[in-house]
Amino acid sequence: ARDAGVHEFLVRPFSSEQVSRHISSVLRKPRDFVEVFGFTGPDRRRLRNPYRGPERRTNR
């Protein structure tokens, strides 16, 4: 679902209050939008936790 563009979901059964809370949360804290080679869309990261391991990216 995430790769299809879903980044928030509710587990059934859910109440109208839960729907309202999720909508409010999405409106209050919109996701950053990322535009890089190979990907354009909302930032999937929820936490700002920088990677501290070795560099694994390859230059193409």
| Residue 57 domain-assigned (yes or no) | no
Residue 22 tokens, joined: 């999720």
| Residue 32 domain-assigned (yes or no) | yes
Domain that holds residue 29: 2-42
| Residue 30 domain-assigned (yes or no) | yes
| Residue 53 domain-assigned (yes or no) | no
Secondary structure of the chain in HEC code, one letter for each residue: CHHHCCCCCCCCCCCHHHHHHHHHHHHHCCCCEEEECCEEEECCCCCCCCCCCCCCCCCC
| Residue 29 domain-assigned (yes or no) | yes
| Residue 58 domain-assigned (yes or no) | no
| Residue 7 domain-assigned (yes or no) | yes
pTM: 0.51
How many structural domains are present in the chain? Answer: 1
How confident is the model over 1-59, as pLDDT tens digits? Answer: 767 777 778 889 999 999 999 889 888 988 888 898 888 888 877 778 888 888 887 77
| Residue 55 domain-assigned (yes or no) | no
